[in-house]
Amino acid sequence: MVKLMVIEKYKERTPSSKKLWERAVGLFCGGINHNIRTFGLDNCDAYPPYIARGDGSHIWDVDNNEYIDWWMTHYSQILGHNNSAVRSALAAQIERGIHFGGLNEHMVSLAEKLREGVSFLKKMRFCSTGAEATMYATRLARLFTKKKLVAKTLGGWHGGNDALAYHLQSPYTDEPYFNGVSFNFNERASFDKVMKEHGSDLAAVIIEPVLGAGGAVPPDNDFLPYLREQTESRDILLIFDEIITGFRFSYGSAGENEFGVIPDLMTLGKIVGGGMHLGVYGGREDIMGLATPGAEGGRWVGGGTFSSHPLAMTAGCAALDQLKGKKDEYPGLNKRCTDFRNEVNRIFDESQYKAISTGHGSLVYIHSLYNRMDGPPLTGTDIGKELDHDALDKFQSLLMQEGVYGYHGLGAMSFSHTKEDVEKTLDAIRAVVTN
Ligand SMILES: Cc1ncc(COP(=O)(O)O)c(C=O)c1O
């Protein structure tokens, strides 16, 4: 009933989005081009808002409704929307021409900046999306080790490529055994089982230092060092997918800076593209060398009409220059968001609302649950098993009605989120919880 009233109110406010949605469903499968962008309203006979513009931590839809944005372009916009330095860099490049399909100065500058931020990024390649980056990193691992199998975490999202898009949604039974195996994030016994059964066939283990879409769970104390030790001793490559975590908690790699673990290969994207499309894969020189044309034992790795696109390169450079200047501000951002998550959980506890906020540093998710959880979940499947998708749909719809926009509950805090944004979001959550 509540749901219907919300949707009716929402529909009244969003007539232009409705019209666009009616056109879109006839054109795109499910009306969308990324499965997650249904905004959880898909089972309520409604439609997502169409976003027209953004500035700082706020966005406006085509009907001029304003939202505090926590999604921040899939966590890419750590500096806020419409960042003036990124905008100027893009405008200057557009003046010179958009893309020539050749080499450009900015790709060299961006790679130098990335290498300065990440000590183990000895050699790298740029592509256009994170999904390509993880696919190529996997390909290189297979070439280097001459083994085929890869292991990832249950629920771990590494993009929509064929190599890694399996075991995505708990209970994971709907996915055929494909070309990879999975283990539970933070669970040694589960990892050990995969090692025992498949260790000798594994080319690589790919993992996010902090589990992202699978639940926003930080690693347990020595889980990452254990993975490092176990993979190294078995000649399995360790790939850190840092497409969310890279330059998110500090200026550089979360694996290296936060958890003191160095992988063989890493992937980057999102933040380092400054809001443009970018994927990066790189790491050890001997492994990356197999991508060099004509390398012995190598094979075709990379490509892409739009790889090292000048707009992505210039936006990335402009973003990294600013983030470098904010190195000392990362701890403050991480703390502000940690305090915020704690406050959200306090609201849930006080009202005995069946939800939990998880995350690390500036990442903040909210999961609606079938049963209340006493403490923070340790693994992604802990959340997966309890995740109440319908309740989350309702929660997100109500939040949007209160002028707060996010996916996975919320998303991430940016440097542009103000104290007022945080207070208003907490008020919105209070309103939803007591609804
Ligand atoms: C950890 C991780 N890896 C890879 C990807 C895929 O990146 P893209 O969407 O740019 O293909 C994502 C995207 O959400 C991600 O979160």
Number of domains in the chain: 2
Atom 4 of ligand 1: nearest residue by CA position: 158
pLDDT band at 118 (very low <50, low <70, confident <90, very high): very high
pLDDT band at 1 (very low <50, low <70, confident <90, very high): very low
The reply to whether ligand 1 has any atom less than 6 angstroms from the CB of 74 is: yes
Task: Between 303 and 41, name the one with better pLDDT.
Answer: 303
User: Does position 43 have pLDDT exceeding 60, yes or no?
Assistant: no
Name the residue of 157, 245, 407, 408 whose CB sits within 8 Å of the most ligand 1 atoms, as the mutation to test its pocket.
157
What does the pLDDT look like over 178-205, one tens digit per residue?
A: 678 999 999 999 999 999 999 999 999 9
What range defines the domain where residue 114 resides? 84-325
The reply to whether ligand 1 has any atom less than 6 angstroms from the CB of 131 is: yes
The reply to whether ligand 1 has any atom less than 6 angstroms from the CB of 269 is: yes
pLDDT band at 2 (very low <50, low <70, confident <90, very high): very low
The reply to whether ligand 1 has any atom less than 6 angstroms from the CB of 212 is: yes
Peptide bond into 219 cis (omega under 30): no
In which residue are the tokens 């919105």 written? Answer: 428
What does the pLDDT look like over 78-100, one tens digit per residue?
A: 999 999 999 999 999 999 999 99
- Among 298, 325, 352, the domain-final residue is 325
123 with 230, same domain? Answer: yes
- The rounded percent of the chain whose pLDDT value lies above 70 is 95
Query: Tell me, what CATH number does 186's domain have?
Result: 3.40.640.10
The arithmetic mean of pLDDT across residues 5-23, rounded, is 87
11 with 62, same domain? Answer: yes
Query: Tell me, what CATH number does 400's domain have?
Result: 3.90.1150.10
pLDDT band at 44 (very low <50, low <70, confident <90, very high): low
The reply to whether ligand 1 has any atom less than 6 angstroms from the CB of 361 is: no
428 with 301, same domain? Answer: no
What pLDDT is attached to residue 435?
73
| Ligand 1 midpoint to CA 421 (Å) | 26
User: Does position 42 have pLDDT exceeding 70, yes or no?
Assistant: no
296 with 203, same domain? Answer: yes
316 with 178, same domain? Answer: yes
313 with 385, same domain? Answer: no
228 with 88, same domain? Answer: yes
User: Does position 177 have pLDDT exceeding 70, yes or no?
Assistant: no
| Ligand 1 midpoint to CA 223 (Å) | 22
- Among 294, 325, 356, the domain-final residue is 325
| Ligand 1 midpoint to CA 103 (Å) | 25
The reply to whether ligand 1 has any atom less than 6 angstroms from the CB of 243 is: yes
CA of 129, closest atom in ligand 1: 10
What does the pLDDT look like over 224-247, one tens digit per residue?
A: 999 999 999 999 999 999 999 999
| Ligand 1 midpoint to CA 106 (Å) | 23
What pLDDT is attached to residue 196?
97
User: Does position 128 have pLDDT exceeding 70, yes or no?
Assistant: yes
72 with 219, same domain? Answer: no
30 with 88, same domain? Answer: no
What's this model's pTM, rounded to 2 decimal places?
0.96
What pLDDT is attached to residue 6?
64
CA of 277, closest atom in ligand 1: 10
User: Does position 10 have pLDDT exceeding 70, yes or no?
Assistant: yes
